[in-house]
Amino acid sequence: MRIAVATDHAGLAYGGLYQELKDFAQTLGHEIVDFGPENLDMDDDYPDFVFPAARAVAHGDCQTGIIMGGSGQGEAMAANRVKGVRCTLFYGLAVAKEPVDAEGHMSDDPYEILRLSRQHNHANMLSLSARFLDKDELKRAIEVWLATPYSDAERHARRVRKLDEET
């Protein structure tokens, strides 16, 4: 799978997490298309890197995208402004109040929210937080998210169509 990746300065500044993201995705057998930045510049603007990555996903040049920022929130907001992108945000482990997985089974997996984003919402981009994830959490998040297929159940497909139709 071709994966568009991009970050802001935080992804480069926090413990090499951006490089870790790229290296790990490659070890899983994916091709990385890097939209930058190449160098650390604390004054860079994440939309300059996220928009091209999101457009690559929306236009089908990449099958999916993984972006990173300090919190990941601004990056997700930027990506979601591109029509056809459905970017989810993951900034840390979370367990639901009533631990139930996507199929209604009991689950206390702190990565279940990532599965739901793929299965139910057909997320095609993932935004990660450099400030809130360590290397192991980052790798597990990428692994879970990429391995989870979309459920094309009618109710999910109907909702995703409505998301993609909005201008």
Cα-trace Rg, the chain = 15
Q: Which residues of 84-101 are buried (b: 16+ CB within 10 A; e: fewer)?
A: ebbbbbbbeeeeeeeeee
Please name the residue that has the structure tokens 């990428």.
142
**With left for phi above 0 and alpha for psi between -120 and 50, is residue 109 left, alpha or beta?**
beta
Q: Is 112 a catalytic residue?
A: no
Q: Is 165 a catalytic residue?
A: no
Q: What type of residue sits at position 98?
A: E
Which of 9, 20, 75, 137 is labelled catalytic?
A: 75
What percent helix, strand, coil does the chain show, rounded to 5?
Answer: 40, 15, 45
**62 DSSP assignment:** S
Residues marked as catalytic = 75, 120
